[in-house]
Amino acid sequence: MAQKIVAGNWKMNLGKEEKMELLKGLKLSDIPNDVNAIVFPTSLYISDLAKSLTKIEVGVQNFSNQNNGAFTGEISISQIKSVGATIGLIGHSERRAYYQENNAFLKSKVDHAINEQFKFIFCCGEPLSIRESGQEFLFVKNQLQESLFHLSAEEMMNGIIAYEPVWAIGTGVTASSEQAEDMHKSIRSWIEEKYTVEVANSVSILYGGSCKPSNAKELFACPNVDGGLIGGASLNASDFHAIINSF
């Protein structure tokens, strides 16, 4: 059974005190036991947040594909682990668009995370022009094939994928539950084709893109939606809390 996950991607928002306030407002004791809640703060604050949290995992928005050395501005997985982060994002559409992270580069991050035994959420999703041309399934399948589907069945087991249509990220336009379910179902069927039904059913497939309290219940009720990767709405404690409790 795929794990239910709700993850908040805080991006480059909030100072340290604001982050602490937000977490206080989340009423941590109300997080259902069968939901894995994760926050992705700015890396600078991981240490403080990880120390103060027990019911929420703390993750990193970006990490290097190298172990150590002359890579100015980068942070290694061992450095990240040493301050308490347990999971990283790979392939967020903003990293793809603004930092030219392509499928081949993302594959190197996937391989590095696997070697370092570091859990990750692999993000995929099509831009608007691709959806308008009816090529969204081909596009997303290609992202997965070029960066992720070279893993062994053992490495793929219990993996986490976030489907985030780029046209829905930060736009207020959410994919309908039918659009989300169609893509999630296809992703699971591609995993089954490539691996086995057991592997396919063990992978958590999250939806991301303007998910909010008003649409989370409907999205999370879809058979192949195992939770969400939440941007804007995770910056508001009561909205994020409501989304975490939307299963």
Catalytic residue among 57, 94, 136, 164: 164
Cross-strand pairs, 9? 40
Which of 39, 48, 128, 127 lies closest to 87 in space, CA to CA?
39
Nearer CB in complex with ligand PEP: 159/209: 209
112 among known catalytic residues: no
Q: DSSP letters along 35-52, please?
A: EEEEEE--GGGHHHHHHH
Residue recorded with tokens 């990193």: 60
92 among known catalytic residues: yes
Nearer CB in complex with ligand PEP: 88/232: 232
Q: DSSP letters along 105-122, please?
A: HHHHHHHHHHHTT-EEEE
Residue recorded with tokens 């057991």: 198
Nearer CB in complex with ligand PEP: 46/243: 243
SS3 73: coil
Residue nearest ligand PEP, Cβ-based:
231
State residue 55 phi and psi, 5-degree precision.
-90, 0
Structure tokens at 62: 């970006």
Residues 6+ apart with CB under 8 A from 44: 16
Q: What distance lies between CA 225 and its chain's CA centroid? A: 13
Q: What distance lies between CA 152 and its chain's CA centroid? A: 21
Contacting positions for ligand PEP (CB under 6 A)? 9, 164, 169-170, 208-211, 229-233
* Residues belonging to the active site: 92, 164
